Amino acid sequence: MITFITGNKHKVIEAENIFQIFGVKLEHIDLGYMEPQGTLEDVAKFGAKYACQELNKPAIVEDAGLFIKALNGFPGTYSSYVQDSLGNQNILKLMEGIDDRYAEFRSVIGYCAPNSEPKVFLGRVKGQIAHEERGNLGFAYDPLFLVPEVGKTFGELTTEEKNQFSHRRNSLEKFINWYVSQDDE
């Protein structure tokens, strides 16, 4: 059983589906905390350590962001705030006339157990910013994030399809593989 700290129900659904593949049960707790300014790794480490100390048991948190090359990595670590304040249409306006549409989603899992330092696991998926929103599945930037190999945006993919290769799948898989290997030691 893994305790996942998040207030985002979409992340819980994605994580539950991914953990199920590996036969790991997930407990969800919404434990709000102030996020420090810094990298995704900084936020994940801080959150995992805070949750572990508050609950006195191992916990994971996840922080993710959309990094757009032509915008110098914006919105990056501010993705959630930018989503809430600007939204997808304003991201598209910022991208008007820009040919290089490379972007990547990054996800960092922070894990901490009592009396230990937090560990982080980075996952990423490469793609492009579409020229318009496509699809009504997923959440946040999903309708903008085009995966060229698939020819669809995350917003056009079901949770199951997205979970085959998403940034969250990559970081959770790295974490689960590490976590399961700890039982062997």
The residue-averaged pLDDT of 10-23 equals 85
What residues are paired with 103 via a beta bridge?
Answer: 68, 127
Name the most confidently modeled range: 34-43, 101-110, 170-179. 101-110
Q: What single letter denotes the amino acid at residue 17?
A: N
> Could you give the 3-state DSSP secondary structure of residue 119?
strand
H or E element that contains 82: helix 79-85
Q: Are strands 59-68 and 102-112 parallel, antiparallel or unpaired?
A: antiparallel
Residues labelled as active-site residues: 63
CB 118 within 8 A of CB 44: yes
Write out pLDDT tens, residues 143-184.
Answer: 999 999 999 999 999 988 888 888 988 999 999 989 888 865
Domain containing 60 — which CATH number? 3.90.950.10
Least confident of 32-41, 83-92, 119-128: 32-41
Average pLDDT over residues 123-133: 97
| Predicted local distance difference test score (pLDDT) of residue 22 | 83
Can you give the pLDDT at residue 182? 81
Higher pLDDT, 182 or 52: 52
Among 91, 35, 25, 88, CA closest to 62 = 35
Span 3-17, average pLDDT: 86
More confident residue, 60 or 13: 60
Share of the chain above pLDDT 70, in %: 98
What pLDDT does residue 183 have? 64
Alpha helix segments (H runs only) across 22-77: 40-55
The per-residue pLDDT of the chain, averaged, comes to 91
Does pTM top 0.85 for this prediction?
yes
Q: What is the pLDDT of residue 163?
A: 83
Report the sign of the C-alpha dihedral through residues 72, 78, 79, 81, in that order. Answer: negative
Point out the least confidently predicted range of 4-13, 54-63, 93-102: 4-13
174 three-state secondary structure: helix
Domain that holds residue 68: 2-184
Other Cβ atoms less than 10 A from the Cβ of 88: the count is 19
Give start and end residues of each alpha helix (H) in 3-61.
Answer: 9-21, 40-55
Domain count, the chain: 1
Average pLDDT over residues 78-93: 94
